[in-house]
Amino acid sequence: MRKFFAGLVALSFIYTGCKKEETLTVKQGKVEEFTVNVPSSWLISNPKALVYLPPDYDPNKKYPVVYMLHGFGGDYRTYVYYNGINEVLDYLISTGQIDPVIVVMPDGRNPVGGSFYTDSKLYEPGMGPTFPFMRYESYIIDSLMSQVEGAYPIDTARRAIMGLSMGSYGSAKLWLKHPEKFVAVALHSGPLAFDSLINADVIDSMLNEFPDRRLPLWIKDYLGIERVWTTLGNGLSFAFTPRMVDYQDPTDWRVIENCFYSGGLNADSGDVLLDTLTFSGVKKCLGVRFPIVYADSASNSYIPSCLTGAFPDNTTYRMLSEDYCTWKIYHDPQTLINSALTTDANAFKSTKVYIDVGVKDELTLLSHNRGFKQTLLDKGFPRENLVYVEFDGKLGYPSEDFPGRHSNWIRFRMKKSLIFINRVFRGENVNAGDYYPARGEKDYE
C-alpha cells in the first residue's frame, strides 16, 4: 500500500510538471527581411527592414502594426539579434498579454552611425537649410510604410511607433510631423527637448574629450566609444547641419588648407571635416557644423535669437552660435509640438503616449523627458492619454545595484510599452499618470 501511494504521488508530480510545461509553451513567430525601394538620390545607406510576423500568422487576417526604430550605432537587426525582441513578442502573444501584431524594424543607420530619422538638408550659415541631402524621414513615411502595408495584411487604423534613444527621438519627430498616422507612441530614453543640450555640463563633457578643448578639424578619426559625446554630437550635426563646400585646388593634396582656409569651412564656428568626396568629377569637402563657437570668456557670449525665457543656472550661452536655432526650429521635438497642433490638433491630442527614462541616465536625458512631458501638458495634451515613467533599478532589485541608466532593462521596458500599445489597439483605458515603479509604486499594469 505504501508503494502504491508513493507511486501515486510520483505520478501526480509528473502530471503537474507536464501540465506546467504545457501552459508555458511559447509559440514562435517569424522574422523576415524586407527591402525598401527608394530613389537613389535620397542617399539611404541600407534601405532594409526586419518584419516580425506573429505565431500562426494568417495572410488573410488584418493585423495592427508597430514601427520600432533603433538607436544610434545600431541597425535594422539590433532589436532581434541583440535585444531578442522577437522572443519578447512571442512570449507576450503566446501568453495572451498582447494580441498578434506585425512589427517592422527599419534601418536608420547612416555613414556616421545614425540618421535621427531626419530629412537632412545641406546647411549654409546665414542661409539655413538649402538643398536636400539624406532623406530618412521620407524613407520611413513615404516609402517603407506604404510598401510594407501593401505587402502585409495591416490594419492601418491601428498603427503605432516606438523606439529607444535615437529611435525614441525619431518616433517623437515622425509622430509630431505626421500626427494623423499613429494612434500610439512609445518613447524610451530619447533626446526630446533640445534646450537641455545647452547645459554647460554637456558642452564641457564633449570638449573635455580633447586636451585643448577644441574639436579636431578632421573629425572622422576621433569618433567612437572613447568619445561618446563628440560622436553623438557629430551624428546630430550630420543630420541637422551638414555642409558641403568645394575643394579649392584639386591638384593640392593638403585637405585642411583646401577645405577650411579658402572660404569654405570655418574652424572657429564649430565646423569639422568628415571626408572628401567627388561628385560629377568635382571634388567636395563634406563636413558638419556643431552649433557652437569658441569664446574665451562669458563676456564674449552670444544669445541665439530662438532662446527666450528663463533657463537653469548651468545653462551656457557662451558656446552657442545662431546655428543652434536651426536645430531648435526644425528638429527639436519639444518645439515640434507646435507643428502637430497646426497640422492636425485632433489627431495629435487623441494619440496615446508612453514615455520612460532612467533617473540616472548617463546621457542626461532625464531632463529632456521631463521637459518634453511638461510641454505636452502645457500645450493641452490630455493628461489621461499620457503614461510617464521614471525608473531606477528593476522591480525586486535595489536601485543602487541596478540603476536606471540609458539603455538597461530594455526588454522589461518594451514589454510594458508593448502592453500599453496593445491596450490602445483594443480601445482600453491606459490608466495614465506619473509612475515610479522602482520606488515601490505600481506602474499602469
Residue 351 pLDDT: 98
Q: 396 with 354, same domain?
A: yes
Cα separation, 273 vs 265, whole angstroms: 8
How confident is the model at residue 4, as a pLDDT?
40
Same-domain check for residues 44 and 170 = yes
Flag whether 17 is in a domain: no
As for how many domains the chain has, the answer is: 2
Q: Among residues 267, 288, 323, which one ends one of the domains?
A: 323
Mean pLDDT value across the chain: 88
Q: Are residues 291 and 386 in the same domain?
A: no
Q: How many H-runs (helices) and E-runs (strands) does the chain carry? A: 13, 14
Distance between start and end Cα atoms, the chain = 50
* Same domain? 57 vs 188: yes
Q: Is residue 125 part of a domain?
A: no
Domain carrying residue 245: 197-323
- pLDDT of 251 > 80? The answer is yes
Q: Which residue has the higher pLDDT, 394 or 110?
A: 110
Rounded percentage of the chain residues whose pLDDT exceeds 90: 66
pLDDT of residue 111: 92
Do 38 and 157 fall within a single domain?
Answer: yes
Q: What is the pTM of this model?
A: 0.90
> Region 181-186: what's the mean pLDDT?
98
pLDDT in tens, 315-367: 666 788 888 999 999 999 999 999 999 999 999 999 999 999 998 999 999 99
Same domain membership, residue 257 and residue 211: yes
218 pLDDT exceeds 70? yes
- Which of 151, 136, 149 lies closest to 39 in space, CA to CA? 136
Domain closes at, from 288, 323, 358 = 323
Distance CA 263, CA 92 (A): 58
Kind plus residue range of the DSSP H or E element containing 389: strand 386-391
- Are 162 and 208 in a shared domain? no
| Whether residue 316 is found in the same domain as residue 337 | no
Domain-located, residue 8: no
Which of 299-333 are b and which e, b meaning 16 or more Cβ less than 10 Å from the residue's Cβ?
Answer: eeeeebebeeeeeeeebbbbbbbbbbbbbbebbbb
Residue 42 included in any domain:
yes
* Same structural domain, 207 and 173: no
pLDDT of residue 313: 60
pLDDT at 305: 85
Residue 337 domain-assigned (yes or no): yes
Confidence tier at 268 by pLDDT (50, 70, 90)? confident
106, pLDDT greater than 80: yes
Within-domain flag for 292:
yes
Shared domain check, 348 and 295: no
Structural domain includes residue 12:
no
Residue 72 belongs to a domain: yes
Q: Which of 323, 351, 367 is the last residue of a domain?
A: 323
pLDDT at 8: 40
CATH number reported for the structural domain that contains residue 173 in this entry: 3.40.50.1820
298 and 351, same structural domain?
Answer: no
Quick one: pLDDT band at residue 199, thresholds 50, 70, 90? confident
Same domain, 86 and 229: no
Give per-residue pLDDT as tens, 138-154: 999 999 999 999 999 99
What is the rounded average pLDDT of the residues 294-305? 70
